[in-house]
Structure 1
Amino acid sequence: MMGIKHLLLLAASVLLARCQQKPQVSMSPKLDQIFSGDLLYLSCDTGTGPSTVMWYLNNEKQLVTDKTWKIAVAAAKDSGSYVCESNGLRSDSFNVIVNEYIPTASLIIKTGHPVMRVGGSVILQLENEDGLQGWRCWVNRGAQTKRIKLRLKNDSVSLDFQPNSLYVPETIFWCTDALQQHRSNQIIVWTSDKDVSLEMYPLPAVAGESLTLRCLVWGTDQITQAVFYKDNTVITASKSPIYEVSDVTEKTEGKYKCDATFTHKARTAGQPYHMTSDSQPVFVQATPVKASLSEKMGLSCSCTRCPGGADYRWYKNDDVGQPVMLPNLNHRFMIPKESGSYACRAVWNGGRSLLSNSHECKFLLMDFGH
């Protein structure tokens, strides 16, 4: 009898040990490199354990108690060793390093908006000044990450592509090279079933830069009044569907929404419609590493926070104000040969700085005729 009791206690102990396996920390989406402004989720896998856990960052207990920790806008302060604890058991350390510069490639929404109707789609544009040979793109919809097939030409530096339609609340896009040593920024698209949405550019907002909020009505631009709210408090009401924040700071963060009074061109009678958008959170990204441009016997580009040995690239704004890279220029100094607005950036393996401030160069045309 004693032997049977001993075996039962041993079996119970084994079962309890299985139920109390050490938790594990995982990240979604899985990124080999993390850049300032990225969205990522850290999850504490406790098996069938409790729904609340304790989180530690660099051995300091955090206020987060959910199994999933959302880092909406990654910053240098988020770098460190993450540990979660459940039932008195702690996970192994999960290390996160957030780079303070921007990735080598650029991904933008060419057609569409950051908030789309359910079932809608966007067209994305991937650009890499060093070429796109071997690049591929990825889409994360919650727990699943899938590859997006690209049709690339050997000499491509820019490519437009259209992912599948959007049916989940949040979708994350990004692109990498074949070895995943270089990547683009993320593009995040949300869905809404409302006729009115609040659009924000850029996302995330960048400290020290401007932020544009736009009240958008699907199917019409006949908006007679737009009211913008921050944390349910009116911040402005006007005939314009656009609200500008000229200088983004930490105080800019909050939940924003708008309501619109509008009609349709085909509607000739009746009262205008009045609808409100979903709330959208605004998070502020710390300013990534940025190059600086100065004038002294030509133009000089510098970047004190960039790695040593970085190259420099030069750009001239086109007729619509978009920077176009000037070929065969990779030194810190440059003498412009024609009038225009110039900017520069530092580049290195795996990253680059933000564009510098623009500098206007003007040259007088001398008339040597009679």
Structure 2
Amino acid sequence: MKGGKYLLLLAAFVLQARCQQDLQVTMSPPLNETFSGDLIYLTCNNIPSGSEVMWYLNGNQKVMQVDKTLKIPVADPVDSGTYHCESNGKKSNGVSIDVKENIPIATLKIKTGQPVMRPGESVVLQLDNDDGLQGWICRVYRGHETKRIVLRSKDNPKSLSFQSKDLNVQETIYWCTDSTQQRRSNQITVRTSGKHISLEMYPQPAIVGENLILKCYVWGTDKIRRVVFYKKGEMNDWKVIVESRSSTYKIPDVTESAKGQYKCNAIYTHVARTYGPSYNVTSDIQEVFVQTPNVKAVVSEKLGLSCSCPRCPSDVSYSYRWYYKKTDGQSWTWMDSNAAFMMPRESATYACSAVWNHGRSFLSNGYYYRPPIKVFMIILIVLLVLLCLAATAAYILWKRRNTSGPIYEDVGLRQRDRGDDKYEMLQKTRGDQKEAEYDTLNPEAPGRERKEGNYEPLKGGTKEVYHTLGAEEAAGGAREYEALKKEGMKEGEYHTLGMQGAAGGGREYEALRKEGMKEEEYHTLGMQGTAGGGREYEALRKEGMKEGVYHTLGMEGAAGGEV
């Protein structure tokens, strides 16, 4: 029995020594599932230092390099397959990788800090999962070692934050999983640099079709005079891509050509420094990785916003998540909505993703949406203004058309029979009247009040000829007043009697007698004596007068004297 036991132990040691001599491929970080965008390292173990290594994917040569580690910076479905290495005529075992087209279900991001930190500092990370984080743990891969980070929480929160330990290695990778390791988050990579200046970018790979912002970050000051961004060319030479006072550089609508190595140079000073030259420092080299979103959601508008995912798996059921941001500089904020259709309540930029049990689609492009009620109110206000302008213009046009009638109109007469008050009222038409359209009766003598409708009709045979009687005696005379007698008068001739004596005289007043007068000849009697004189007043008699000639009698004696 003892001999057999020793033989078994000897066989195990021989097998172990033989295995140690064979080449072996290991993957780090150790992931149960690989998603699009993951950072993966494949290491060919058990080879002498400095030996050349040949890497194969599905039996085909992939790359030849001196370093024993193969880096896949941005995993893509085309990277799926079986990998093995070969060195000094020996081949390793095979390691299979299946890169999914979608991204993980949970989101891990930097809450406080930068993707490039100074040695000895730390960052605060935030984990988000809409289905809760009960039982979730995080892992950190640094210096070829993987350690666990315990998350302490109560109930089942949807968001948790934790702080990393001091960063003392060049690169540290974080990710989180649930208790079964079937559901996990994306990776976050934090790098270190001992310089006072660093080139910052989004910690995850740039997405084709979206924007990428690079920032030349100077620790401890913002007094930057000049910044130059460089990119490494195909001939390994550094080319200036932009030079300005701004510390940021935006690459719009990213394409595959954006990937590569970058660095920046800054000339700056510190606030506390009052003398001496400015600092002139160049950052460490940082690499920009670009990935193409294979499974991406799409936002469309129709009375609201709809989310769809044409390339999502057809054998799973999924819901939707909505996000929004009000400015370009803000990060996306999750909204409490799981439906494919949503009606936003405020103006903002919206995006969505499709979610199922173990994964989700890439975030859709941002879509700026303005609620219809605001658009409707703006349109309504514009229409009301246009209607007001149109109504005003129509009123002005109507006003002009209705004020362009004839200058003179027929005067209607109304007779009243009440003793001596036998006057008839001139009834004027409505509307604006031009100057000289109507004659006005002179004021009556003092002491006698005018009564409405106490005028006698003007007697004339010609249409639109107007005549006005002067005021009657203050005390009623024995005889009635006679109307003006006109014969052969033309249109537009006016005749006015001067004011009669204040006290009724013994004789009657005679009307103006005109014959052969031309159009628009005017004659006015002067004011008679205020007390009734013994003589009658005679009308002016003029013959052969021309158009527009006026004659006025002077004022008579104040007390009934003779002429």
On whether the aligned pair clears a TM of 0.5, the verdict is yes
**Per-residue deviation, 1:46:** 2.5
Q: How does 1:349-368 map to 2 (within 5 A)?
A: 349-357=357-365, 358-364=367-373
1:62 aligned to 2:62? yes
Q: What is the rounded CA distance, in whole Å, between the counterparts of 1:55 and 1:264 in structure 2?
A: 49
SS at match of 2:267: strand
Q: In the alignment, residue 157 of structure 1 is paired with which amino acid?
A: K
Greater relative contact order, per chain length (Cα 8 Å cut-off, separation 6+): 1
The one of 293, 318, 331 equivalent to 1:287 is 293
Larger Rg: 2
Please name the residue that 1:229 is paired with. 230
- Worse-matched range after superposition: 18-27 or 39-48: 18-27
Q: In the alignment, residue 35 of structure 1 is paired with which amino acid?
A: F
SS at match of 2:201: strand
CA contact (8 A) 1:339 1:363 kept: no
Q: Greater strand percent: which structure? A: 1
CA contact (8 A) 1:338 1:363 kept: no
Q: In the alignment, residue 168 of structure 1 is paired with which amino acid?
A: V
Q: What is the rounded CA distance, in whole Å, between the counterparts of 2:191 and 2:241 in structure 1?
A: 24
CA contact (8 A) 2:296 2:361 kept: yes
Q: What is the rounded CA distance, in whole Å, between the counterparts of 1:101 and 1:130 in structure 2?
A: 18
**Per-residue deviation, 1:324:** 4.2
Please name the residue that 1:240 is paired with. 246
Q: How does 1:83-98 map to 2 (within 5 A)?
A: 83-98=84-99
Please name the residue that 2:183 is paired with. 182
Q: How does 1:65-84 map to 2 (within 5 A)?
A: 65=65, 66-84=67-85
Please name the residue that 2:278 is paired with. 272
- Distance verdict in 2 for CA 1:19–1:153, change over 3 Å: closer
**Per-residue deviation, 1:104:** 0.8
Q: In the alignment, residue 354 of structure 1 is paired with which amino acid?
A: F
List alignment gaps of at least 5 residues for structure 1: 1-13
Q: What is the rounded CA distance, in whole Å, between the counterparts of 2:103 and 2:145 in structure 1?
A: 25
Q: In the alignment, residue 137 of structure 2 is paired with which amino acid?
A: R
Please name the residue that 1:155 is paired with. 156
CA contact (8 A) 2:322 2:338 kept: no
**Per-residue deviation, 1:88:** 2.7
Q: In the alignment, residue 136 of structure 1 is paired with which amino acid?
A: I
Q: What is the rounded CA distance, in whole Å, between the counterparts of 2:50 and 2:242 in structure 1?
A: 45
Please name the residue that 1:137 is paired with. 138
**Per-residue deviation, 1:235:** 0.9
Q: In the alignment, residue 159 of structure 1 is paired with which amino acid?
A: L
Q: What is the rounded CA distance, in whole Å, between the counterparts of 2:31 and 2:364 in structure 1?
A: 28
Identity %: 54
List alignment gaps of at least 5 residues for structure 2: 1-13, 233-237, 378-563
Q: What is the rounded CA distance, in whole Å, between the counterparts of 1:262 and 1:337 in structure 2?
A: 45
**Per-residue deviation, 1:55:** 1.3
CA contact (8 A) 1:229 1:256 kept: yes
Q: In the alignment, residue 152 of structure 2 is paired with which amino acid?
A: R
Aligned pair count reads 352
Q: In the alignment, residue 315 of structure 1 is paired with which amino acid?
A: W
**Per-residue deviation, 1:247:** 1.8
**Per-residue deviation, 1:202:** 4.9
Please name the residue that 2:407 is paired with. none
Please name the residue that 2:52 is paired with. 52
Q: What is the rounded CA distance, in whole Å, between the counterparts of 1:196 and 1:323 in structure 2?
A: 28
Please name the residue that 1:10 is paired with. none
1:304 aligned to 2:317? no
Q: How does 1:329-344 map to 2 (within 5 A)?
A: 329-332=337-340, 334-336=341-343, 338-341=345-348, 342-344=350-352
- Distance verdict in 2 for CA 1:315–1:145, change over 3 Å: same
SS at match of 1:364: helix
Q: What is the rounded CA distance, in whole Å, between the counterparts of 1:251 and 1:318 in structure 2?
A: 28
Q: In the alignment, residue 153 of structure 2 is paired with which amino acid?
A: L
SS at match of 1:63: strand
SS at match of 1:269: coil
CA contact (8 A) 1:311 1:330 kept: no
Q: How does 1:28-47 map to 2 (within 5 A)?
A: 28-46=28-46
SS at match of 2:78: helix
Q: What is the rounded CA distance, in whole Å, between the counterparts of 1:335 and 1:245 in structure 2?
A: 31
SS at match of 2:257: helix
**Per-residue deviation, 1:180:** 0.6
Please name the residue that 1:315 is paired with. 322
- Distance verdict in 2 for CA 1:218–1:46, change over 3 Å: same
CA contact (8 A) 2:303 2:372 kept: no
TM-score norm. by structure 1 comes to 0.88
CA contact (8 A) 1:137 1:147 kept: yes
Q: In the alignment, residue 240 of structure 1 is paired with which amino acid?
A: S
CA contact (8 A) 1:25 1:42 kept: yes
- Worse-matched range after superposition: 27-36 or 47-56: 47-56
| 1:156-204 deviation line (CA, Å, top 9, x unaligned) | 1111111100001111111111111111111111111111111012532
- Distance verdict in 2 for CA 1:338–1:50, change over 3 Å: closer
**Per-residue deviation, 1:51:** 2.3
- Worse-matched range after superposition: 97-106 or 316-325: 316-325
Q: What is the rounded CA distance, in whole Å, between the counterparts of 2:115 and 2:309 in structure 1?
A: 31
Q: In the alignment, residue 101 of structure 1 is paired with which amino acid?
A: N
